[in-house]
Amino acid sequence: MKRPVIETFLSRLDNTLRWTGIPARVADAMSDAPSVDRKHRPLRWIPIWPIAFSCALFILSLTWPSALGRVSLGGVILALVPSLSAVIVALLPVIHMNGPLGKPSLEDDEREAALRKDSFLFCLGLLACVNCLGQPFLMILSHWQNWQTAHSLSVAISALMLNATLFGSLPTLYASWNLRQLPKE
Amino acid sequence: MSLYNRISVFRAEQGISRRQLAEAVGVNNQTIGYLERGDYKPSLELALKIARHFGVAVEMLFSFERFESIAMTLKRAGEDE
């Protein structure tokens, strides 16, 4: 007998969700004896891609703004890719974006919480420095080069994308390079 | 300031794995590894929990000075006798 289409679709959705491993992790965390051997996988190279991409986009908007205006659909994709990549990187489990900064969350112990706090402090400190130095620089540059409104707008949007990408990827990058490989027991 | 510890010595003496110690004190087993290697300084709470698990004073496990090697301790104990 042929199974109904809706049932097949729902069972596929269930299988997809199980494949992510999230239901097993939730069940483990909610059990009476949650396991302690979970590992945070260091991501040393993946976060570099969205950062490099959004840096390239920012430089492109500064030096060659007509290139972004000419290909409107391509420009949108170019702008979306780094920020989406940053979100994906942030969701990958090196450090949890949604965990509290100062104290262990449901899953994280004190070392992981301290690492997360250090990572965010580093990231926010760096972002503050970059923005404090970058804003006057951009203002002087716009005045010096007589930027049009469209040019200023594209630089502002790409700067926003760069900020979002750095905020999403830098903590993961910092935490990953801080995690040294442990020898097997 | 460096903080030295001999968790691995006590663990080896009692024959327990990192995972068992981690379960007993409620941390990730990677944290025990980083602690043993001196890459992470524990909170007072965690240090006391580990000391209580081994049934020793916290000074026996953690110190600002390097711990004497086991060979030296045994040698000194032999000389005292």
CA distance B72 to chain A (A): 26
Q: All domains of chain B, ordered by start, with CATH?
A: 4-80 (1.10.260.40)
C-alpha distance from residue A87 to each of A55, A106, A170, A174 (Å): 16, 22, 11, 16
- Count the Cβ atoms, other than its own, within 10 Å of residue B48: 15
- Is this model's pTM higher than 0.80 or not? no
- The predicted pLDDT at position A163 comes to 92
The DSSP call for residue A40 is P
3-state secondary structure of B4: strand
Which tens digits make up the pLDDT trace of A98-122? 555 554 455 678 888 888 889 999 9
Nearest to B33 among A38, A112, A182 (CB): A182
Which tens digits make up the pLDDT trace of A7-50? 788 888 888 888 877 777 777 766 666 665 566 677 888 889 88
Q: Smallest Cα–Cα separation from B50: which of B65, B77, B28, B32?
A: B32
User: Cβ contacts (< 8 Å) between B33 and chain A: which residues?
Assistant: 182-183, 185
